[in-house]
Structure 1
Amino acid sequence: MKIDSKPLRYAHAEGHTDVCYTEDGQHIITCGNDGDVRIWVDIEDDDPNSHCVGENAVAVCFKENRVYVATDNHAVQAYTYPAFDKDGIVTRFTAPVTQIKSSSKIEALGCSSENMEARLCNLEGGAPLFVMKEHTGPVLSIAICPHMKFASTACGDGNLRVWDIDTQKIVKEVSCVPKCNTFFDAKIMCRMDFEPKEGKYLAFPNKREIILLDCESWGQRMTFTHSAIKQAMSQCLFSPCGEYLAGNTISGQIAVWEIGSGACIDVIEHPSSINITAMAWNPKGNGVLAYCDFSGQLGMLVNCYGKDSSAATDIADDVEMIERVEDNDDIVDDLIENYESDDDNAISLQKIKNETMGIVDHDESRPASRRDPTPAPATVPPQAPFQPSATPTHLEHRYMCWNDIGIVRCHTAENGESTIDVEFHDTNLHHGIHLNNYLNHTMASLSSTVVALACETPSKLVCISLVGNSKEWSAAMPDTEEVLCVAAGAGVVACATNARLLRLFTPMGTQRQVISLAGPVVTLGAFNTAVLAVYHSTDPGYSDQHLAMDIVALNGRQVRSKTVPVPLTPSSKLAWLGTTDVGSPCAYDNTGILRMYDVASGVWMPLCDTNTHSKGASDSWFIVSISEATQKVRAILCRGASFPATAPKPIVAELSIQIPLCEMDTEKSQYEEQLVRWAHTTADVDVKTARETALKLFALACRSEIEQRALELMELLKDDRLLPLAAKYASRLGRVHLADKLTNLAESWEKETDKLNVAQTSHFQELDTQETYDVTNGDTDLNASLIIPQKVKEKKTDVDTTLKPMPVKSSPGRARNIFKKQATNTKSAQSPLSLTERTLVEVHRPADNSENDEPLAPLEGETFVDWFTRNKTVLEKQNPDLGPSELTRHGIKLFKTVQGKATNGTENGPKRKLDEDTNGSDTVISTPKQSKLSTFAFVKKS
């Protein structure tokens, strides 16, 4: 029996229209773009009850004598039925609500929104039961399993996601949704539905067919289509009995299939071929289907179940028998021979047998071996490659890059033409750039020397130089290799390809190196001549991504690399990768945790929890840059979204860096956090402030009557200038024993000087034996230091003179002061990756001493360490009153004196200025940006 279509009638103004039934099936409820909600007795009702709820109403749902409406204030408003009085707000979003979904078996309300969120809400309001956040586009629709075990969402980013409600994890992800920027421009809404009885299947539209997924193995069970269907399917909906499936196309066609047989009952054409926006089955199970279209009209189909359903029931029983019989292939083959049909509207039982019983058809004429029907454990999908500080590629107006150098924007017109704008924060660096995006570049990176652009197809790297005369160069990838990520630093341009290769170029286009990555790339970062490459170290687990990072640094012709794992919050993904202003690698995940890698200690440290700075649960932060000097994170607040809009230009906020120690609401923890943070970052803090903080922490320990903690703090800090102040404070409090211990502590440090001197000597020996690099400017030193620890020297330079050590700075006390601040400005601060290990001894500056023992001439090319070891006994005899530390300082001064005489051949050699540049003398490196490592650099005779 053919399906009968009732005449359409006007319901609402033109625009998106929604429809649902009351639970008893007596009334139809519609809402539309005019802001009215209408209650119809039947489609022929000429005077429906109308209620205005706002300027527009996008979605409506009926549940337990209440009507839930998505209003224009982005809220889900509850109304009583039939009085239609306001009964509270269930939930509120920051963008329009796109769908409200529930059923008689579900004690919750599913809501989706344009703010890239979907929620499972309590019917009485309050906090959401489950928030689905991992969307990068507007959420178009939502569906909930009748047992509330699974939920499904379709997003404008192109993916359909299935969520496990109990674990709140993604268990299945399918790319079947056409990408779109907003719900109101989406022709295909991809509205899916779970089987209403047991929730065994999930149906969703995909192009011109509807696919049925098994909710246990998430394998494809059946597909439904028809030769009369000419356009893409937009929605699908199970009947209340679960035996029929209705679907509609974007051209207004509505088709109904019988699930048991897969036969198409009928295909109904819309009189005006207008897109159907919503469908609803009558809960009575009488085969009535109501629908609304984009023009605001209400329609109805009757007899959708057909008349003769006995044959379909028999075939469905046979399918059940196939599932029960697992070991008898002969019976299965007989069933296939009896019931296979050449009808285009039928679904082949051969396919059902293969999918339900796990039989693989190696030969078309005869089924072959079987596989284990037990599905493999579900894992999260691997994270796709992305560009840091970039917005999704499907947006018409998007950010390609936003960092501390500038902003790269991409604008796509309706006709497909695309342009790229480059804006620099400092106009003295370079003027703005505007160019046509002929190659459809989707990736960009910006540094102080180059703008790097790349596209996947045709895969080509294009770079615009910001220095020198040459303006642009390009490099095409070989064969089928495609660029997935790109990064630009001041001294390097890098791109990662799908061949798992990391290709490195100089800013002017010289191919520098090709490196193989150990897994699929996720993202890239760059700082000066160092590249950070993050990739999948192994396949993702049940809920976590397994990522690793290669830190690759270029130093002249040398290339060095260090691999470290990348920590993430459980069940999160990497959202941003970059470095601080001094080169420390940083990673930010989508849960809002920012971490920094300290190469000196080889550990990742959490720096900032951006969630503490958010007001709403759906707010997120878009990281721009991180400054260790000011201890600030520059980021953009995205309300109800994961990325900022291009217009109006968003405001960049500054978030304070704070290490999450325990009990941060106490004064003790706040002081401890400051000391820990200053010790591991290049903070712009003076010694006085650091000592005051340490003394306050010492005072808290004394007031708490924990003398051992106070003593432990002083032993940890080892600041000889802070020790007298602490002892004086302890005396004033009447802590006599503590004051005595602090006094004795200074004497114990004196006794340990010998051990420190041994450590110093071994440090000199290690520097002398290892390969070193000569750093001629601060930038090069920063680049080299990203992977070379402080124990490694600079590279030796060939000159015509003998080796001589650089002068070494000192502090007035004998013990190392952990708060000692470099005499460089903030911008010249060295990267923590390049600093010496903080436990190494600082070498003190030699004091002015008029005494000058008889010089001991060094041998040709002899270093200070060798000279001091050879003459240590003589020096001890000549200076019996000097301790080990004083003897070392005296030896340094003496060695400089005798070496100067040997070099210049005059008595004035020791008083020669350090910056003198004479023929045959060494060039002394003294730049404000040099690291501590460069203090110990040597130069080599040619």
Structure 2
Amino acid sequence: MKIDSKPLRYAHAEGHTDVCYSEDGRHIITCGHDGDVRIWLDIEDDDPTSHCVGESALAVCFKDKRLYVATDNHAVQAYTFPAFDKDGIITRFTAPVTQIMSRPKIEVLGCTSENMEAKICSLEGGAPLFVMPDHKGPVLSIAICPNMKYAATASGDGILRVLDIDTQKMVKELSCVPKINTFYAAKVLCRMDFEPSEGKYLAYPNNREIILLDSNSWGQRMTFSHNTIKCAISQCLFSPCGQFLAGSTVAGQIAVWEVQSGACMDIIEHPTSHNVSSMAWSPKGNGVLVYCDVAGQMGMLQNCYGKDSNKISADAESGDVESVERMDDNDEIVDDLIQNYESDDDNGISLEKIKNETLGLVEKDSRPESRVMTALPSTIPPQAPFQPSSTPSHLEHRYMCWNDVGIVRCHNAENGESTIDVEFHDSNLHHGIHLNNYLNHTMASLSTHVLAMACETPSKLVCISLVGSSKEWSVTLPDTEEVLCVTAASGVVACATNARLLRIFTPMGTQRQVLSLPGPVVCLASFNTTVFAVYHHTDPGLSDQHLAMDIIAFNGRQVRSKTVFIPLTPGSKLAWIGTSDAGSPCTCDSTGIVRLYDVTSAIWLPICDTTTHSKGASDSWFMVSVNEQAQKLCAIMCRGATFPLTAPKPIVTELPIQIPVCELDTEKSQYEEQLVRWAHTTSDVDVKAARETSLKLFALACRSEIEQRAIELMELLKDDRLLPLAAKYASRLGRMHLADKLSNLADSWERQTDKLNVATHFQELDTQETYDVTSTEQDLNASLIIPQKTVKKKIENVTPIKPVPIKSSPGGARNPFKKQQDTNKNVQSPLSLTERTLVEVHSTAEATENHDPLKPLAGETFVDWFSRNRQTLEQQNPEMTPSELTRHCIRTFKSSQTNPTEGSQKRKLDESLEESPVTNAPKQSKLSAFAFVKKD
């Protein structure tokens, strides 16, 4: 009987389309380039159930009452069936997932991706069970043996590889795949398949024929071909019984062969000659084959076994009815057995029986229903420990560490020998180091003072001092502990063990501290004498890791710690942690978002999205370091991979630090981004450029006719020198009302000083010493964690204690204990955006200038001088009457005009004389100071 072809029908938008059957064969599931997953009862179903999973979906697979879909975020997402609720993420890639496959006899998923990776994953997710290496192109397909012994992959580098899963070694390698650079350009997908019963054979397409390999000897068993096949065969698929083999060409031809005889049952021509992108046999074993093409159309072939598919289906259904009737006949016997079993067991408690007796329900067996109950959503596995800026340990040539100090490489030879090379960016710091890796070190950390290396087994920490004579020291951990992470800085060396202990050493090997971590460690970082320990503070959720970081500062025997939570992008993992040149902790997750922890405000800031700098979807960035002063971060672009290769040496790229504010393409948002970035990072900000940026933002508000925003900006910045410029600009624009408000703003700042200081909450945030392990008199550790700008701010805000000079008054009345008021005080807000860049710089500059506010200006009259300084003079002489104050000011004004060049020196001399304890002593000669004075 010839194969019957059903008419094609529209399934999805044009593009790669995938199809599969449910395990019972009652539903057809398709996914396509439009991002929808549709569930069909049959090819003639006019109203299929449709679910949107994203912008595109390349692969779909049904296994154990769950659907697994390759979404556009490069993840394999699980869904319940038929409710279609999200049920966890099985695995993630850095490029689109090209195929998801499984078989009834295996409880795993085979997943391939365009990023040259192929994985065998558990159905519950977590770390992959087996990762197939050595692909040099996008992986197009994967096939797994039913007994989980072998796995085969075909990649765009032209190689078909067969690997032994147990030994993880390659057993067969064939050149049968056309070479391509991307999955979207592939016409021949080279979809292969193992014989479904025992995996005796492997069938794979090779040009215009299908070759059958014996899985024992890997020799060619037979070939399947036909003279009417016009072009290359793209994929082949065994029937569920293993007796038939179907293959499709890039021109849409579909042929079915009988495996035993090799005879071709029939060849079906595609009506539109489109390439067939996927095929699926019906699990009912009725000879029905469904397929989809690259145009988004779905078709069906019947009678592929040489028999009428409808009769085969009817026979199968009658067999099911007979089995159901037999089960119904034996229900009473089974119920009696269950009842007798439960009644004989004195200790057994039947919850169903208690419910029936209490609620009066009909008693029935609950065991079959318990198998149908949906299990609770499983959480993702916790992230394993890793070394920042390192590549996977199974590589033959890998980076153990790459940071701003240097590069540590490890080379493993085929004969088992291993070497370590250390290269320093600054050759003046230290010369290169070459070591024989006798202990098989797998982790390393490099600083300007020490090179630290360790391995899990044997648990031994080896450090080489880079200062002086390069002495080496080592420490052996107890037998029950294994090193999981290691870090080194200029003043500390630390390692975390599986016993959740953090062991601290000095650079020369002195054991300094042993601390307990609250959870399983993930990674370590350090800066000077401060250690940053990242660990799991709770179990992971359905898709997120819950990480926390302890910032532990050491100063002698004193230890100060602070715990902060690490933010991550939903569904991502921590990929890198380090510190900037100013000591601020920085992180990068697997989605490429770089964040910086502002120590003074205790907040995390996203400073860069590395994906915006990628050229391809499969590209990723390998983090190296962050430089706050230059507002740059150093990273390495990895094309089609997650880590760089050792040869050739990759190029380090500088990416700009940029806060992701809204509407970043507008001029207003760019100025706002600069102000926010300068406020929270230790950058070399030019005061003139900062003022220009603020003034431009003010000008934009004025041009937009939003005067209230302009006033709000000036109140937010609180810069005394910027305010006159803004008022002058407003007056030039003819906005006199705005200029008057700005002129009165400085006076209102001084009057509202006390009101601003009432906010105790912000005062506490402003004054808390988060990382200081010493008092303010011995603030040695502040520069190790807190940027230097914060230390300057803290010192400048402290009013120095000095004696107040005693000034004479006309009436002789004076108050030597009255507090002198500072009239040139800058009012600063704890919420000021440019507090670090504008206010501090100007306040420091003003403090250094020798400017006397009471000194008359050139050509200034007494009336103008008195009106300008009247408030200051009244505050300095509160006990004088107005007439006395006027006479005193006239004398002061005349004395300043008589000798203006020596005013400052004369005032200093007067102050030194006034500060002398002897004010009315009689005149003495110079030698009398050396005369002998007899003690009483």
Contact 2:96 2:618 in 1 (8 A): no
Residues 900-938 of structure 1 deviation map (CA, whole Å, 9 limit, x = unaligned): 999xxxxxxxxxxxxxxxxxxxxxxxxxxxxxxxxxxxx
Contact 1:644 1:650 in 2 (8 A): yes
In 2, distance between residues paired with 1:578 and 1:569?
Answer: 18
Q: Secondary structure at the match of 1:388?
A: coil
In 2, distance between residues paired with 1:750 and 1:775?
Answer: 33
2:928 corresponds to: none
282-291 or 563-572, which moves further after superposition? Answer: 282-291
Q: Secondary structure at the match of 2:133?
A: coil
Contact 2:74 2:93 in 1 (8 A): no
Displacement, 1:502?
Answer: 1.3
In structure 2, relative to structure 1, the CA distance for the partners of 1:144 and 1:750 (3 Å cut) is same
In 2, distance between residues paired with 1:326 and 1:680?
Answer: 76
In structure 2, relative to structure 1, the CA distance for the partners of 1:546 and 1:670 (3 Å cut) is same
**Pairing 1:591-602 to 2, within 5 Å after superposition:** 591-602=591-602
Corresponding letter in the other structure for 1:191: A
Q: Which runs of 5+ in 1 are unaligned?
A: 1-22, 27-62, 66-87, 92-99, 111-118, 164-170, 193-202, 211-228, 236-241, 255-266, 292-298, 336-366, 795-802, 824-836, 852-873, 883-892, 903-942
Displacement, 1:559?
Answer: 0.9
In 2, distance between residues paired with 1:574 and 1:271?
Answer: 44
Q: Which runs of 5+ in 2 are unaligned?
A: 22-27, 34-55, 61-69, 77-90, 153-165, 173-192, 204-212, 224-233, 248-256, 263-284, 286-314, 342-366, 804-821, 854-874, 889-907, 918-936
1:287 corresponds to: 243
In structure 2, relative to structure 1, the CA distance for the partners of 1:680 and 1:329 (3 Å cut) is farther
In structure 2, relative to structure 1, the CA distance for the partners of 1:543 and 1:328 (3 Å cut) is farther
In 2, distance between residues paired with 1:303 and 1:450?
Answer: 71
2:402 corresponds to: 402
1:439 corresponds to: 439
2:135 paired residue among 169, 179, 182: 182
Contact 2:400 2:408 in 1 (8 A): yes
1:583 corresponds to: 583
Contact 1:24 1:283 in 2 (8 A): no
In structure 2, relative to structure 1, the CA distance for the partners of 1:333 and 1:665 (3 Å cut) is same
Q: Secondary structure at the match of 1:191?
A: strand
1:772 corresponds to: 775
1:653 corresponds to: 653
In 1, distance between residues paired with 2:673 and 2:696?
Answer: 13
Residues 752-782 of structure 1 deviation map (CA, whole Å, 9 limit, x = unaligned): 456789999x999999x995166697xx542
In 2, distance between residues paired with 1:377 and 1:103?
Answer: 24
1:160 paired residue among 110, 113, 120: 120
Contact 1:138 1:183 in 2 (8 A): no
In structure 2, relative to structure 1, the CA distance for the partners of 1:754 and 1:89 (3 Å cut) is closer
Contact 2:679 2:837 in 1 (8 A): no
1:484 corresponds to: 484
Contact 2:100 2:112 in 1 (8 A): no
Contact 1:411 1:419 in 2 (8 A): yes
**Pairing 1:11-30 to 2, within 5 Å after superposition:** none
Corresponding letter in the other structure for 1:632: K
Q: Secondary structure at the match of 1:845?
A: helix
Alignment of 1:245 onto 2:248? no
Alignment of 1:173 onto 2:126? yes
Alignment of 1:689 onto 2:692? no
Displacement, 1:658?
Answer: 1.0
Alignment of 1:738 onto 2:738? yes
Contact 2:584 2:785 in 1 (8 A): no
Contact 1:552 1:787 in 2 (8 A): no
Contact 1:208 1:233 in 2 (8 A): no
In structure 2, relative to structure 1, the CA distance for the partners of 1:818 and 1:108 (3 Å cut) is closer
1:937 corresponds to: none
In structure 2, relative to structure 1, the CA distance for the partners of 1:742 and 1:455 (3 Å cut) is same
Residues 538-580 of structure 1 deviation map (CA, whole Å, 9 limit, x = unaligned): 1111111111111111122111111111111111111111111
Displacement, 1:731?
Answer: 0.6
Q: Rg larger in 1 or in 2? A: 2
1:131 paired residue among 74, 79, 98: 74
Q: Cα RMSD over matched residues?
A: 6.0
Displacement, 1:783?
Answer: 2.0
Alignment of 1:845 onto 2:847? yes
In 1, distance between residues paired with 2:719 and 2:560?
Answer: 36
Corresponding letter in the other structure for 1:132: A
Contact 1:519 1:535 in 2 (8 A): yes
In 2, distance between residues paired with 1:419 and 1:759?
Answer: 60
2:58 corresponds to: 121
1:143 corresponds to: 100
In 2, distance between residues paired with 1:185 and 1:419?
Answer: 31
1:513 corresponds to: 513
Q: Secondary structure at the match of 1:421?
A: strand
Corresponding letter in the other structure for 2:58: C
275-284 or 591-600, which moves further after superposition? Answer: 275-284
Displacement, 1:655?
Answer: 1.1
Contact 1:253 1:273 in 2 (8 A): no
Q: Secondary structure at the match of 1:440?
A: coil
Displacement, 1:494?
Answer: 1.2
1:673 corresponds to: 673
In 2, distance between residues paired with 1:846 and 1:611?
Answer: 46
In structure 2, relative to structure 1, the CA distance for the partners of 1:89 and 1:650 (3 Å cut) is farther
In structure 2, relative to structure 1, the CA distance for the partners of 1:427 and 1:793 (3 Å cut) is same
In structure 2, relative to structure 1, the CA distance for the partners of 1:417 and 1:329 (3 Å cut) is farther
In 2, distance between residues paired with 1:668 and 1:154?
Answer: 45
In 2, distance between residues paired with 1:64 and 1:514?
Answer: 70
In structure 2, relative to structure 1, the CA distance for the partners of 1:141 and 1:610 (3 Å cut) is closer
In structure 2, relative to structure 1, the CA distance for the partners of 1:580 and 1:714 (3 Å cut) is same
In structure 2, relative to structure 1, the CA distance for the partners of 1:321 and 1:182 (3 Å cut) is farther
Q: Secondary structure at the match of 1:562?
A: strand
Contact 1:445 1:453 in 2 (8 A): yes
In 2, distance between residues paired with 1:673 and 1:734?
Answer: 29
Contact 1:545 1:573 in 2 (8 A): yes
Residues 342-363 of structure 1 deviation map (CA, whole Å, 9 limit, x = unaligned): xxxxxxxxxxxxxxxxxxxxxx
**Pairing 1:189-588 to 2, within 5 Å after superposition:** 191-192=143-144, 206=148, 245-248=196-199, 270-271=216-217, 281-283=237-239, 287-288=243-244, 302=260, 374-588=374-588
In 1, distance between residues paired with 2:607 and 2:448?
Answer: 26
Contact 1:618 1:641 in 2 (8 A): yes
In 1, distance between residues paired with 2:603 and 2:779?
Answer: 30
Displacement, 1:245?
Answer: 3.3
Displacement, 1:650?
Answer: 1.0
Residues 305-351 of structure 1 deviation map (CA, whole Å, 9 limit, x = unaligned): 9xxx99xx99x979x979x999969869999xxxxxxxxxxxxxxxx
In 2, distance between residues paired with 1:102 and 1:707?
Answer: 61
Contact 1:714 1:723 in 2 (8 A): yes
In 2, distance between residues paired with 1:326 and 1:154?
Answer: 50
In 2, distance between residues paired with 1:399 and 1:489?
Answer: 19
Contact 1:770 1:792 in 2 (8 A): no
In 1, distance between residues paired with 2:420 and 2:392?
Answer: 15
Residues 78-113 of structure 1 deviation map (CA, whole Å, 9 limit, x = unaligned): xxxxxxxxxx9968xxxxxxxx98658454589xxx
Q: Secondary structure at the match of 1:626?
A: strand
Displacement, 1:288?
Answer: 3.8
Corresponding letter in the other structure for 1:180: P
Displacement, 1:432?
Answer: 0.9
Displacement, 1:844?
Answer: 7.0
Displacement, 1:302?
Answer: 2.9
Corresponding letter in the other structure for 2:721: R
Corresponding letter in the other structure for 1:131: H
In structure 2, relative to structure 1, the CA distance for the partners of 1:805 and 1:106 (3 Å cut) is farther
Identical counterparts, % of pairs:
52
In 2, distance between residues paired with 1:842 and 1:756?
Answer: 22
Contact 2:380 2:540 in 1 (8 A): yes
TM-score by length of 2: 0.57
Q: Secondary structure at the match of 2:729?
A: helix
Displacement, 1:480?
Answer: 1.9
Displacement, 1:375?
Answer: 2.2
Contact 1:491 1:506 in 2 (8 A): yes
1:343 corresponds to: none
In 1, distance between residues paired with 2:391 and 2:533?
Answer: 20
In structure 2, relative to structure 1, the CA distance for the partners of 1:300 and 1:243 (3 Å cut) is closer
